Amino acid sequence: MNAETTMLFATFGIGVVLTLVAGFYCVLTTRSLIRALIGLEILTKAVTLLIILAGCVTGRMALAQALAVTALVAVGAGIVFGAAPAFTAARVDVQTSLKEGARGDVGGARSGRLWKSRFLT
């Protein structure tokens, strides 16, 4: 490694470590689910930066970029498909469902629309 690569590694390495510390702090010290998710996102970004930094230092930048994009797509898909059922469950009026005496049917006919739209038959 030449001096420029060493300086780049040191600068970005410190940034990655600080980002990891901030992410772990958010996850470990909060009781709020939203803050914990934000902390996990910060940790994900720190790992992505670490992958790109390792690719830059080793000279395999194309591989590092491919891994970073794959990680970002996987996290994004996990958030989108994990949040859809949560938003569906949050819209249910529990009091009305209990008054109607519906057993096992949470949300009525409207809740099935999102589930049915996911699959083409």
| Residue 115: HSE in the Cβ half-sphere, 13 Å Cα cutoff | 11
Q: Write down the pTM of the prediction.
A: 0.57
Domain membership of residue 96 (yes or no) is: no
- pLDDT over 60 at 28, yes or no: yes
pLDDT at 21: 92
Domain membership of residue 7 (yes or no) is: yes
Q: Check residues 73 and 93 and name the one with the higher pLDDT.
A: 73
Domain limits for position 59: 3-90
Q: Check residues 70 and 98 and name the one with the higher pLDDT.
A: 70
Single out the residue of 98, 12, 1 nearest to residue 48, CA to CA.
Answer: 12
CB-neighbour burial class of residue 30 (10 A; exposed 0-12, middle 13-18, buried 19+): middle
CATH of the domain at 85: 1.10.287
Cβ(41)–Cβ(68) under 8 Å? no
- pLDDT over 70 at 118, yes or no: no
Q: Check residues 44 and 113 and name the one with the higher pLDDT.
A: 44
pLDDT at 111: 54
Pull the structure tokens for residue 2: 């030449």
pLDDT at 108: 52
Total domains in the chain come to 1
Domain membership of residue 100 (yes or no) is: no
pLDDT in tens, 43-61: 888 888 888 888 887 888 8
Domain membership of residue 99 (yes or no) is: no
- pLDDT over 70 at 73, yes or no: yes
The per-residue pLDDT of the chain, averaged, comes to 77
